[in-house]
Amino acid sequence: MLDIKLFRENPELVRQGLKNKNEKDRVDEVLELDKQRRELIIQADELKTHRNQVSAQVGQLKKAGQDASAIIAEMKRVGDQIAEFDGKLNKVEEDLDSLLRYIANLAHESVPVGKSAADNVETKRWLPEGFSFENDFKILDHIELGKKLKILDFERGAKITGSGFPLYIGKGATLERALINYMLDLHIHEHGYTEIFPPFLVNKDSMRGTGQLPKMEEDMYHIEKDGLYPIPTAEVPITNIHRDDILNEKDLPIKYVGYSACFRREAGSYGKDSKGFLRVHQFNKVEMVKFVKPETSYNELELLVKDAEDILQKLNVPYRLLMLCTGDLSFSAAKCYDIETWSPAENRWLEASSCSNFEFFQARRANIRFRNEATKKPELVHTLNGSGLATSRLMVSILENNQTPEGKILVPKALQKYTGFEIIE
RNA sequence: GGAGAGAUGGCAGAGUGGUUGAAUGCGGCGGUCUUGAAAACCGUUAAGGAUGCAAGUCCUUCCGGGGUUCGAAUCCCUGUCUCUCCGCCA
């Protein structure tokens, strides 16, 4: 969430920022609640000071064996007044907190202002040697390939669970697992990340910490009986590792990478992009998360994107890099790059990674701080995360781009020692 | 799932309902001593909020929530977590 001080000191900046992000302007509501809050605190604190002083007196009188019943009776009335103010104050603070949690992060100044995905800016395009958008044989899509080679079975996945729960079989399953292991190893051994294997279910506090709740409640699966949520991304458990922590400055930046299955309800998105792997309820993802000092976060974002790109270059997958405009940025992000891989069958780019800087937004919600060595005071960190990468859409690009005219799949060189085979036929 | 014990500052560990934000020890930081270091000694060492230019002053916080009381780390209820024993189990 945003800093309440920003609303007090520069309301117009917040107003414009929310407008750029296509968000509702609720600045005046925040300021009004903030004003009420401060007035109540002043009144309640005054009474409490009084109570504390008189209560100490009562103690001394009793010790001296004297009668204190008169001031005790008076203090009872003061106590009731305090309870009244505290009740009002709690209500106002709850309202303010929940309002702030519904307000989106503001975009960084380097982000282009725009209304929708159409205004995103392509900043880079990388194509493997010898790659061409034209093909001299009929390209099969990943669903046809998966069926023909008996490596993917979307119908049986739907029978077992429901649509959007893919089933991998034989070499398809091996390829998926190889991809996950390959990506993890690269990030751990070459990019300097610490491996995490997180829980796949989290509690409400964790979902609030990273910003999925309360606003995106409808997009989440929810196990009501136990109050738990299947994670939509490993970002949630990994970022919450340090919820309420005060980190050592010398340990920053902290870089974690972890695999998890990801669960998303994708409510309301049926019919759109819903075939095969394009939009699923369960998929696999390797996620990178960083906790950094604020002044380094934009540099760290560039490095994060590089770490994700490195995977695609080593796997020879054609991709492009987009800088999202203000209107297409997610709720929590201040700046975000999407990486899209090429699908020759779809004849378009598919989002396979999203790398974001959240600045203080998550850190403030989750209360993640570090101790500044110079000032000795705790300060909020910046958090970042990026997929590195999601396997489902990446799998589409790998299968489709590596097919032969006979409909076989050539396994990318880098993956072969992980799969143990070079071809799927 | 059943029975019991517990949760206090960075850590360890006291705490009779009344100057307890909290003894003591360790650790950290600063200093004295020393050529330097160690030891010893002295001092210092929580977070959040309100107010103020600031120094400061005040409020809250002893796992979370509720209650009793003039006053709660301390008493009551409740939730969570940890440990021990039993049951079940990959």
Q: What is the mean pLDDT of residues A297-326?
A: 97
Q: Tell me what ipTM this predicted complex has.
A: 0.87
Q: Which nucleotide is nearest to A79 (CA to C1')?
A: B70
pLDDT tens by residue, A92-136 = 999 999 899 999 999 999 999 999 999 999 999 999 999 999 998
Tokens 């945003």, residue located: A2
Per-residue flag: A38 CB under 7 A of strand B: yes
Measured in angstroms, what separates residue A52's CA from nucleotide B70's C1'? 9
Q: Which nucleotides of B are covered by protein (CB under 7 A)?
A: 18-19, 47-51, 58-60, 66, 69-71
A282 contact partners, CB below 8 Å, separation of at least 6? A161, A164, A165, A166, A261, A262, A263
Per-residue flag: A41 CB under 7 A of strand B: yes
Burial annotation A140-179 (CB, 10 A radius, 16+ → b, else e): bbbbbbbeebebbbbeebeeeeebbbbbbeebbebbbbbb
**Collapsed DSSP state (helix, strand, coil) of residue A146:** helix
> What local confidence, expressed as pLDDT, does residue A268 receive?
64
Domain ranges of chain A: 4-101, 117-424
Q: What is the mean pLDDT of residues A357-371?
A: 93
Q: What is the mean pLDDT of residues A11-21?
A: 96
Q: Tell me the β-bridge partners of A359.
A: A383
Task: Tell me the pLDDT band of A311, cut-offs 50, 70 and 90.
Answer: very high
Task: Tell me the pLDDT band of A172, cut-offs 50, 70 and 90.
Answer: very high
Per-residue flag: A201 CB under 7 A of strand B: no
Task: Tell me the pLDDT band of A269, cut-offs 50, 70 and 90.
Answer: low
Q: What is the mean pLDDT of residues A13-34?
A: 96
| Closest to A277 in 3D by CA, of A181, A341, A228 | A341
Give A340 or A249, the one with higher predicted confidence.
Answer: A340
Q: A367, A379 in Cβ contact below 8 A?
A: no
> What local confidence, expressed as pLDDT, does residue A84 receive?
92
Asked if the A117-424 domain carries CATH number 3.30.930.10, the reply is yes
Per-residue flag: A228 CB under 7 A of strand B: no
A203 contact partners, CB below 8 Å, separation of at least 6? A227, A228, A229
* A 51-90 residues, CB < 7 A, strand B: 51-56, 58-60, 62, 72, 75-76, 78-79, 90
Measured in angstroms, what separates residue A57's CA from nucleotide B19's C1'? 10
CATH architecture of the domain covering A4-101 = Orthogonal Bundle (1.10)
Q: Which nucleotide is nearest to A52 (CA to C1')?
A: B71
Percent of chain A with pLDDT over 90: 80
pLDDT tens by residue, A58-76 = 988 887 878 888 889 889 9
